[in-house]
């Protein structure tokens, strides 16, 4: 995908939302250790023990709603292509399952459910839609002209690659153009549309301290479980073969996959987006590409 080509950025959205949440923390409008129940009474079991911090760093134990939905190559998946999913509806699907672990905060288990709740908490704290807050606080100040939070709009405007998903019917698998779809299924943790150039600009601004003070950036770079997975408050990192640590996130939006990482000094940045080949695992190839870009 060229630098100005637009694509669905999947879970890279989480870093944008986490930055918005941390700006609200900086403004004193909410706290990382606020229980979910303070903002969303009755939304989830154990809402008195699950905190905003646990939602951000995937240590809440809340079951991930994504596996509860029909997914490719199931043909039922296409039946929901234009459906508008309410966050509360997706959360209910998740909490119908037992938690991934107990007590909250004791382990890491990736959960998109937590970011649906964070979107609602942003709305409670500000009185505005979470997408509007992301655009007001990040997209517009950084002049990210190819970036938007589409809400329920199915369209990808401007130059963009087509994305495809496999669908299996009657024993035969075929690729279906899935470029246009209702992104409410991804919600606050995955609906972002962006470009490689915009993602580089965002991560450079974030790591430079332009969007958050140093204390909250330090929190963002702190793993939720000491010595555990390299994931903090909506921000991931990994160490390259040449010993350089890079920060960012990656995303899977079904028909699109993306990766965006930046060195702490912001001298090197790499953003990659592709339409996946479902016949092969692309992760190892992309990891090698990223490592070469940072170390070559």
For 187-229, the pLDDT digits (tens) are 999 999 999 999 999 999 999 999 999 999 999 999 999 888 9
**Which percentage of the chain shows pLDDT scores above 70?**
99
Residue 277 pLDDT > 80: no
- 74 assigned to active site: no
- The pLDDT, as a whole number, for residue 279 is 63
Helix segments in the chain, DSSP class H: 13-26, 36-39, 52-56, 76-79, 87-95, 112-126, 130-134, 196-208, 214-220, 283-295
What's the mean per-residue pLDDT of the chain? Answer: 96
The active-site residue, picked from 11, 100, 111, 260, is 11
Q: How many domains does the chain have?
A: 1
Task: State the residue for tokens 């999913």.
Answer: 85
Per residue, the 3-state secondary structure of 236-261, as one string, reads: EEEECCCCCEEEEEEEECCCCEEEEE
For 94-117, the pLDDT digits (tens) are 999 999 999 999 999 999 999 999
CATH of residue 260's domain is: 3.40.710.10
Evaluate whether residue 2 is within a structural domain: no
- The pLDDT, as a whole number, for residue 170 is 86
The rounded distance, in Å, linking the Cα atoms of 43 and 92 is 8
Q: What average pLDDT does this structure show over 128-136?
A: 99
Q: How far, in whole angstroms, is CA 25 from its chain's centroid?
A: 19
Q: Which two tokens stand for residue 40?
A: 């969303």
The neighbour count for residue 139, using CB atoms within 10 Å, is 21
Evaluate whether residue 149 is within a structural domain: yes
For residue 155, the enclosing domain spans: 7-295
Nearest to 262 by CA among 271, 251, 272: 271
Q: For 96-135, give the DSSP string.
A: TSPPSSSSTTSS----HHHHHHHHHHHHHHHSS-HHHHHI
The rounded distance, in Å, linking the Cα atoms of 54 and 160 is 35
Evaluate whether residue 1 is within a structural domain: no
């Amino acid at each position: 995908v060229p630098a100005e080509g637009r694509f669905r950025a999947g879970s890279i959205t989480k870093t944008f939302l986490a930055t918005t949440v941390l700006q609200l923390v900086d403004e004193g409008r909410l706290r990382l250790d606020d229980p979910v129940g303070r903002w969303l009474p009755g939304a989830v079991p154990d809402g008195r023990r699950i905190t905003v911090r646990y939602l951000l760093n995937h240590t809440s134990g809340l079951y991930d709603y994504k596996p509860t939905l029909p997914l490719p190559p199931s043909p039922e998946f296409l039946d929901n292509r234009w459906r508008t999913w309410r966050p509360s509806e997706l959360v209910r699907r998740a909490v119908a399952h037992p938690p991934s672990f107990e007590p909250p905060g004791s382990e890491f288990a990736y959960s998109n459910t937590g970011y649906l709740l964070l979107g609602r908490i942003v709305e409670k704290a500000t009185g505005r839609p979470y997408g509007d807050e992301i655009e007001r606080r990040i997209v517009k100040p950084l002049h990210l002209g190819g970036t938007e939070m589409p809400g329920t709009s199915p369209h990808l405007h401007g130059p963009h690659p087509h994305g495809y998903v496999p669908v299996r019917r009657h024993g035969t698998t075929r690729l279906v153009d899935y470029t246009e779809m209702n992104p409410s299924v991804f919600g606050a943790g995955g609906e972002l549309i962006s470009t490689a150039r915009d993602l580089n600009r965002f991560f450079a601004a974030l790591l430079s301290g332009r969007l958050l003070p140093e204390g909250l950036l330090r929190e963002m770079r702190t793993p939720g479980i000491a010595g555990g997975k390299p994931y903090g408050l909506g921000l991931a990192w990994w160490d390259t073969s040449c010993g350089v640590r890079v920060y960012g996130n990656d995303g899977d939006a079904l028909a699109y996959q993306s990766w965006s990482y930046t060195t702490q000094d912001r001298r090197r940045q790499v953003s990659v987006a592709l339409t996946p080949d479902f016949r092969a695992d692309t992760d190892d190839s992309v990891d090698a590409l990223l490592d070469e870009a940072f170390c070559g």
